[in-house]
Amino acid sequence: METRLFWIGVAMGAYAWLSNRWRESGAIDTPLKSGLWHGTFLGLAGFSIVMVLAMSMEGRLGRIAVAAEATTSRELYPSLFIGLICGAAGFWRAYMGGDKAEKRKYYLAEDWEWAETVFSAVILASVLMYCVVQAFKIPSGSMRNTFIEGDHLFVNKFIYGLRVPFSGKRVLALRGIRRGDIVVFRFPSDDPRELHCGSIQYGKDFIKRVVGIPGDTIEVADGQVKINGQSPVEPYVNQDSRDPDRQPGSPKAKLLTREKYQELWQTHALDRALEGTMRDQFGPVTVPKGSFMVMGDNRDHSCDSRYWGPVELKYLKGRAWFIYWPPSRMGVAR
């Protein structure tokens, strides 16, 4: 959401800058020009408002995560429709009153003031969401009972460093990623056609717990995680979900060399090769440099790194920080 808010802010800033120049030069000097420019503002405003509302509704209905990067048709088409209606209404309003110079000046000054206000507010909000803190809603039960569906929490986006736009790098980190951290990240795939865990995950935001950092060797045997050959104490794992009848794993896995298994996992292709049979029998794999492995606390009901591979640092958004809603569950995320 922060990326789209940023571009909305940029569009409003460009509109405000041009409006101010034309206000000083008197370039908007006909009813047609006045109508077109006022219509442009109302169209942009209508499109932006509906887009933000649609993103919020999509997240609340659980179709996508709150901060997903992918724009869906349910967001785009209503936004374009309302934008066109608002633009047409704005054009007619200014065109009909544009024969008078004072009216043209009034519309231009009004639009300039609103655009400047929206630019400042939206840019500030997007910068805060991008660099400092962002709200997130738990979309599924994969982290029970640490989080349950519908929990609202804040994500700390500066603890692992500030993201450098379009580079995948981070700077000024307060500390590195540690085992046991609960992190929010964008699904680690740039191909919108890929299927994982039975559906397309591209663009969605996930929340999981880090179980492996670069250099760790991870294995799951009969549902029990082993890190570098040792079984860690994991009090946060949902014991109610532990199934006494463990999946045996795929016979195809025994035909793979360790190098091939690692390659398939690291390239996010293991679940397709083994048909999603890695829940209880997985690995061993080694977490590559610049990546980490994550799993849900509700281990038997979690679509995680066992299926679709490591999470590269460029997809990381931040660390789960504080549950703020509902009040009965308010507290620091652990």
**Residue 184 to residue 205: CA distance in whole angstroms:** 7
Residue 54 has pLDDT above 50, yes or no: yes
Model confidence over 230-241: pLDDT tens digits? 999 888 998 655
Q: How far apart are CA 54 and CA 46, in angstroms?
A: 12
- Full-model pTM: 0.76
The pLDDT assigned to 240 comes to: 57
The pLDDT of residue 63 is 38
**Do β-strands 291-295 and 205-212 pair in parallel, antiparallel, or remain unpaired?**
antiparallel
pLDDT tens per residue across span 143-183 = 998 999 989 999 999 999 887 776 777 888 889 999 999 99
* Burial degree of 73 (CB within 10 A; 0-12, 13-18, 19+): exposed
Average pLDDT, the chain: 87
What pLDDT is attached to residue 68?
A: 42
Please compute Rg for the chain using Cα positions: 25
Angle at 314 between CA 324 and CA 167, to 5 degrees: 120
- 331 phi/psi in degrees, rounded to 5: 160, 175
Measure the CA–CA gap between 24 and 305, rounded to whole angstroms. 58
Enter the tokens of residue 128. Answer: 């805060």
**DSSP code of residue 211:** E
Contact call for residues 202 and 189 (beta carbons, < 8 A): yes
- In whole angstroms, give the CA distance from residue 142 to residue 91: 50
Residue 258 neighbours by CB distance under 10 Å: 11
DSSP-H helix ranges across the chain: 2-25, 31-60, 73-97, 101-131, 251-254, 258-266, 270-274, 305-308
pLDDT of residue 64: 35
Q: Give the model's pLDDT for residue 66.
A: 38
Sign of dihedral through CA atoms 50, 55, 60, 66? negative
Question: How far, rounded to the nearest angstrom, does the alpha carbon of residue 230 sit from its chain's CA centroid?
Answer: 33
